[in-house]
C-alpha cells in the first residue's frame, strides 16, 4: 500500500480530528508517517502511525494572556525557515503518495507543494471562503486588540520573511496573518456537515464535508464529585484561549444559588484555587473528560471551537457560545443562526447575562430537537471512512 505523510500543529484541536482518519488509513494497510510536536507523540503512536517530532516550541505564543494570530503566524514562518530544508530531504526519501496537511500548517504546505506531491488539506473548522469570516479589518482589530503596534510589526515581519521563503519554496507569501488559514489542497476535508457550514453551496467539488472526526480519549483523570439530579452546566474555553480567571469567577457567581451543578474546566494556565472558595455544587478542574461530561450536561458554555461544538451536538447539548478569537466568532454566530444555542459577545458576559442564557436553554425542548436534527446530519456525512476513501481516490 501507499506511504502517506501527515503534518499538523500540536494543539489538540488540530490533532484530535486527524486521529480517527489516520487510524482508518493504517487499518487499510497504508504506512502513515506523522510529523508533530513531541507532546502528542503518545496520541499519534496509538493510531499505528510512525511519529516524527517537529522540534519547535509554540508554548510561549499559545499561553500568552491574549494570543495573537499575528504572533502565531510569525512563529510558524520562523519554524518553516528553520525546518523545511531538512523536512524536504526526509519526505522526499519517503516518496509519499500523498501529504495530509492541517489548514494552518505552513511548513506542511511548503513541503507538499515544493515536492509536487498530492496535497489533501484537513480543516478542523469551517471551510473558508467569501462571506464565511468577518471582513479583514474586523478580524485585524479582534486579533491585535490592545497591541496594534506590536501586531503591526509582526505582520510586516511576516510579509518579509514569507516573501523570502516564497523565492525558494513553492508557497505564496502571507500578506496578513489570516493568509495562514489556507484552503489550498487538491482535496479539502472539512470536519463538519454541509448543514452546519455557512454558504456551503458556494464551495467547489474539491471540498468534502466529512463531518466531525472525533477521537475517543483515554486520559486518566481524577474522578469528578458525584452528580445528583440537578441539571449540569459545563463550562470550558478549550485548550488555547482559556487563561480567563475573571470569566470563570463570573460563571461561579452566575450559578452560586445551587439550581444547577457546574463543572468549570479552566485549563492548565489557571490554578483552580485562584478562583477562590467555591460551593460544593461547583467543581473547577484543570482538565475534565469532555465527552463524558457532555453526556450528562444540560447546557455547555463554550468558547465555540469547532471540536467542542461538534462534540456538544453529538450529545444533543445546547450551547452558550462565548467566542474568544478567530473563527470562533463565526462558529458562535452559526450556533445562534441554527437555533441550537445563544451567542454572547464580549460585552454580554456578565453573571446575570450568562445565567439568563443558560436558563433559556436548559428546559427548551425545541432547541434540543434542533440539536438532534443536526446530530443526524453529522452522522450521515461518512466521517473518517469517507475521508480515507477520498485520500485513496486522490492517490489513485
Q: What is the mean pLDDT of each run of 10 residues along the chain (396 residues)?
A: 94 90 97 95 96 81 69 92 96 97 96 97 92 79 76 93 95 92 96 94 95 68 73 88 81 94 86 85 89 94 92 95 84 95 88 95 94 95 96 95
In this predicted structure, what is the pLDDT of residue 266?
A: 86
Please answer whether residues 232 and 259 qualify as being in contact, where contact means their C-beta atoms are separated by less than 8 angstroms.
Answer: no
The kind and range of the H/E element at 235 are strand 232-236
In this predicted structure, what is the pLDDT of residue 337?
A: 95
In this predicted structure, what is the pLDDT of residue 62?
A: 62
Query: Closest Cα partner for 290 from 281, 302, 278?
Result: 302
Q: DSSP secondary structure string, 160-182?
A: HHHHHHHTTSS----SSGGGGS-
Cβ burial 158-175 (10 Å sphere, 16+ → b, else e): bbebbeebeeebebebbe
Cβ burial 24-54 (10 Å sphere, 16+ → b, else e): bbbeeebbbbbbbbeebeebbeebebbbbeb
Domains and CATH numbers, the chain: 3-211+382-395 (3.40.50.2000), 232-379 (3.40.50.2000)
Number of helices followed by number of strands (H, E) in the chain = 15, 13
In this predicted structure, what is the pLDDT of residue 138?
A: 78
In this predicted structure, what is the pLDDT of residue 240?
A: 67
- Cα dist from 387 to 95, 208, 210, 217, 363, whole Å: 21, 8, 6, 20, 37
Amino acid at each position: 500500500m501507499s506511504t502517506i505523510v501527515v503534518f499538523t500543529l500540536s494543539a489538540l484541536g488540530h490533532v484530535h480530528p486527524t486521529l480517527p482518519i489516520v487510524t482508518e488509513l493504517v487499518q487499510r494497510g497504508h504506512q502513515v508517517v506523522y510529523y508533530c510536536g513531541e507532546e502528542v507523540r503518545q496520541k499519534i503512536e496509538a493510531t499505528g502511525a510512525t511519529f516524527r517530532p517537529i522540534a519547535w516550541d509554540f508554548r510561549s505564543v499559545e499561553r500568552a494572556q491574549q494570543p495573537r494570530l499575528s504572533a502565531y503566524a510569525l512563529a510558524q514562518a520562523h519554524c518553516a525557515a528553520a525546518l523545511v530544508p531538512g523536512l524536504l530531504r526526509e519526505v522526499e526519501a519517503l516518496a509519499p503518495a500523498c501529504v495530509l496537511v492541517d489548514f494552518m500548517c505552513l511548513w506542511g504546505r511548503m513541503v507538499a507543494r515544493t515536492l509536487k506531491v498530492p496535497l489533501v488539506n484537513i480543516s478542523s473548522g469551517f471551510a473558508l471562503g467569501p462571506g464565511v469570516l468577518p471582513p479583514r479589518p474586523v478580524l485585524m482589530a479582534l486579533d491585535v486588540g490592545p497591541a496594534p503596534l506590536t501586531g503591526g510589526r509582526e505582520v510586516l515581519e511576516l510579509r518579509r520573511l514569507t516573501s523570502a521563503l516564497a523565492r525558494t519554496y513553492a508557497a505564496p507569501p502571507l500578506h496578513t496573518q489570516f493568509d495562514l488559514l489556507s484552503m489550498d489542497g487538491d482535496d479539502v476535508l472539512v470536519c463538519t456537515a454541509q448543514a452546519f457550514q455557512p454558504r456551503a453551496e458556494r464551495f467547489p467539488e474539491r471540498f468534502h464535508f466529512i463531518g466531525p472526526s472525533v477521537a475517543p480519549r483515554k486520559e486518566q483523570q481524577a474522578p469528578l464529585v458525584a452528580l445528583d439530579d440537578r441539571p449540569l452546566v459545563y463550562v470550558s474555553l478549550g485548550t488555547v484561549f482559556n487563561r480567563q480567571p475573571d470569566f470563570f469567577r463570573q460563571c461561579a457567581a452566575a450559578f452560586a444559588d445551587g439550581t444547577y451543578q457546574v463543572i468549570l474546566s479552566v485549563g492548565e494556565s489557571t490554578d483552580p484555587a485562584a478562583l477562590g472558595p467555591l460551593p460544593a455544587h461547583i467543581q473547577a478542574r484543570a482538565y475534565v473528560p469532555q465527552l463524558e461530561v457532555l453526556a450528562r450536561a444540560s447546557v455547555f458554555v463554550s468558547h465555540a471551537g469547532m471540536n467542542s461544538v461538534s462534540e456538544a451536538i453529538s450529545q444533543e447539548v445546547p450551547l452558550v457560545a462565548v467566542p474568544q478569537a478567530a473563527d470562533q466568532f463565526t462558529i458562535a454566530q452559526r450556533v445562534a443562526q441554527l437555533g441550537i444555542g445563544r451567542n454572547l459577545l464580549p460585552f454580554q458576559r456578565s453573571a446575570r447575562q450568562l445565567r439568563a442564557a443558560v436558563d433559556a436553554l436548559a428546559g427548551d425542548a425545541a432547541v434540543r430537537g434542533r440539536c438532534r436534527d443536526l446530530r443526524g446530519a453529522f452522522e450521515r456525512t461518512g466521517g473518517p471512512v469517507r475521508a480515507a476513501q477520498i485520500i485513496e481516490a486522490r492517490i489513485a
